[in-house]
Amino acid sequence: GKLPFCAMGVSSVIHPKNPHVPTMHFNYRYFEIEEADGTVQWWFGGGTDLTPTYLNEEDAVHFHKTLKEACDKHDLKLYPKYKKWCDDYFYIKHRGERRGIGGIFFDDMDSPSKEEVFQFVKSCAKAVVPCYIPIVKKHCHDSFTPEEKLWQQLRRGRYVEFNLVYDRGTKFGLLTPGSRIESILMSLPLTARWEYMHNPPESSKEAEILEVLRNPKDWVH
């Protein structure tokens, strides 16, 4: 039978035109289900992650440190746990690489109490602007070449692959009767590209980001 439920959240994806400004995604959500016997099950989930076209280590450190500071206000164990969860979740298995350089990700969080978890989620949500906007301001006027734009389009192809093949939210939405397909697919970039068996030259800036996507780094120590 059907069970009464409540679901709410906020989700945003930004795909900048400039390949030197990274894509950023965040989502924070709350679910509540009333069981047949009247008991209520609830949990929070969410995260914030960064997907650069080109690696800028200073930006990566800033992004992760800001998220770590938000987590550390509540428990020092949270950032390393949710950073690893993010690296593991946004993994494109058929490519052997991550979608981006990660951030934090968690799901089914229902302890120690609803108010304490809610305060943690609010801290994470409030960290979105300070972790990302300084990076946008730093690079939004950077010049770029047609070759750099092409690499951005190829990386966005990987973004599409992850979201359509592996992302739980996309799968859940597409399987929900009467859902708005356009809303479910809002996370996809407007344009993307695929090149057959494309491999960037060794020691190139393109190869540099691939190395990090294949072998996630600890950005805060």
Q: What is the pTM of this model?
A: 0.94
* pLDDT for residue 195 is more than 70: yes
Is 77 within a domain? yes
Tell me the catalytic residues: 25
Predicted confidence (pLDDT) per residue in 144-160, tens digit: 999 999 999 999 999 99
CATH of the domain at 179: 3.40.1500.10
Closest residue by Cα to residue 50 from 13, 92, 78:
13
Long-range CB pairs of 89-92, under 8 A, 24+ apart, other chains included:
90/49, 90/162, 91/166, 92/158, 92/161, 92/162, 92/165, 92/166
Give the pLDDT confidence of 108-124 residue by residue, as tens digits: 999 999 999 999 999 99
pLDDT single digits (tens) 45-59: 999 999 999 999 999
Q: Are strands 40-51 and 23-34 parallel, antiparallel or unpaired?
A: antiparallel
Number of folded domains that form the chain: 1
Q: Which amino acid is at 132?
A: Y
Asked whether residue 219 is domain-assigned, the answer is no
Residue 113 lies in a domain: yes
Is 159 inside a domain boundary? yes
Q: What residue numbers bound the domain in which 25 lies?
A: 5-214
pLDDT at residue 1, as a whole number: 61
Residue 4: its pLDDT value, please? 85
Is residue 220 situated within a structural domain? no
